[in-house]
Amino acid sequence: MPMSKVETSILGFARGEKGNLLFHSKDPRTGDQLETAYAHASESEISKACELAEKASLPMASLGGMEKAKFLRNLADRLDSLVEELVAIMPLETGLPEPRVRAETGRTSGQLRMFARLLETGNWVDARIDRAQPERQPMPKPDLRAMLRPVGPVAVFCASNFPLAFSVAGGDSASAWAAGCPVIVKAHHAHPGTALLVGRAVSEAVRECKLPEGAFSMLYGSGSTVGKSLVTDPAIRAVGFTGSRSGGRALFDLANARPEPIPVFAEMSSINPVFVLPNLAESQLEEFVSDLSASATLGVGQFCTNPGIVFHPGGDFGSRLIDLYLRKMKQVEAGPMLHSGIRESFDQGLNRMEASKDIAVVLRSEIDTQGCLAGPCILKTKLEDFLTDTTMHEEVFGPATLMVEYEDANELMKVAEKLEGQLTASFFGTIEDLNAHADLVESLETKAGRLIFNQFPTGVEVCGAIVHGGPYPATTDGRSTSVGEGAILRFVRPVCYQGFPDDLLPEALREANPLGITRSES
């Protein structure tokens, strides 16, 4: 039998060794192992990547906005040119269909260009100028000027559910490069071939745009070994992660146990509650159910904004809602989940929910044990039982919905008090409903990063105003977003320059404002 082709990590402009421990990805539709093997990064290779990133840190920080924008646009063009190759490899590794591959390629190149535009305007640096007042009494006021500066090398962990948009050249990497930080990516074990295609494109863009070699490296290996070594290396100054709560929390704990702790921006888990308020019209039920089904099963339910729980009125309205939803969900075909680990976790989550005496199973599709196929599921319970059983509050990542019936909408305030931090919270009803339940909206503002009215949470718009974050455990830092222009703020810190000569200040802070940016001045 011929030996498998072996691919290795990317260490700046070099490649890793082929003699390390090997692994293969699998086709989630069949369970078949794919031919190419990938070598785990050794400890020396991890150290080399970190050394290169540390060496690149100051040159990266000195790059101007136009230089960084040129790199991001170059990389975006390269990604767009790779789409046919991605269509060939990505479905084999993930089970995702061709239209999703093309759409995610466009989203990924689009967000690179979004950050390029942000850099070209330059206003994001939040330049603040307080001029000296030497005659002020009783004490003179010094000249003070502040702006945002990069934190240094960032470790980015690829997500399984977004092999492009939250992976090698995804939002975490793009925002870190935009901030002026070198990036070391830990590739995901489920789609290493996709990662390699994109990783090569990044390396080529780094070379062509004459960025320092350590601006990018990519490592293969497990989170428990490579990931641990990466996060605990002194060169790393911040971490970006999208994945499970257990994975994100493990990285967070490692980072905080370091002699010099560093920030971890981990997006982890969310049930994204949907609140059907009392005045939603019967005539709107068909449309609501159709859209709910589409949102809950989008990508086989493997979106972090998947609406996992719906609070709805009881009585005849509730019975009709459940009946319509059951009929709609029965029409949805099973699809492949991204890998066996996610499929097994989904099965375990459903078993945990079914074990509760207060939960009834309305629909549970069979789960394929050979491949990773999974179908839609519906469970239901009463509000009073939800409030007392915290197992119902946990995310079941996949195409499952827990329907929670309430009799008195005023009781929903108790839900808001009990809920953990969420990425989103959605409300369906009338404007009068929103006014009548303003206290519920205000309470959920403290629990979610995005509040939505008469729309579903899937389909995250990549733009300036989007917030894709939320209080713990949705993320480890509810003050940030991992999508949109605001994502750049995770990888910078404010630096103040006091009494500096004008020609030694960063251009953004010089008196003549040579960049022509908007500044706060006094």
Burial of 123 (0-12, 13-18, 19+ CB in 10 A): middle
Please say whether the beta carbons of 436 and 285 come within 8 A. no
* Residues facing 356 on adjacent strands: none
- Rounded distance between C-alpha atoms, residue 123 and residue 115, angstroms: 12
7, 93, 267, 405: which one is catalytic?
Answer: 267
The sheet carrying 274-276 orders its strands as 360-364, 377-382, 400-406, 309-313, 274-276, 422-428, 448-453
Q: Which residues, other chains included, contact 357 with Cβ-Cβ below 8 Å and sequence gap of 6+? A: none
Inter-CA distances, 235 with 225, 230, 364, 509, Å? 17, 9, 48, 28
**334: phi then psi, degrees, rounded to nearest 5:** -65, 155
Q: Report DSSP state, residue 141.
A: B
181, 304, 372, 377: which one is catalytic?
Answer: 304
Q: What is the largest CA-CA distance in the chain?
A: 86
Q: Which residues, other chains included, contact 234 with Cβ-Cβ below 8 Å and sequence gap of 6+? A: 258, 260
The answer to whether residue 372 is catalytic is no
Which two tokens mark 13? 């402009």
3-state secondary structure of 241: strand
Tell me how far apart the terminal alpha carbons of the chain are, to the nearest angstrom. 74
The answer to whether residue 304 is catalytic is yes
**DSSP track, 408-475:** -GGGHHHHHHH---EEEEEEES-HHHHHHTHHHHHHHHTTEEEEEESS-S-S---SSS-----STTSB
Residue with tokens 């059951």: 326
Q: Give the residue numbers marked as catalytic.
A: 267, 304
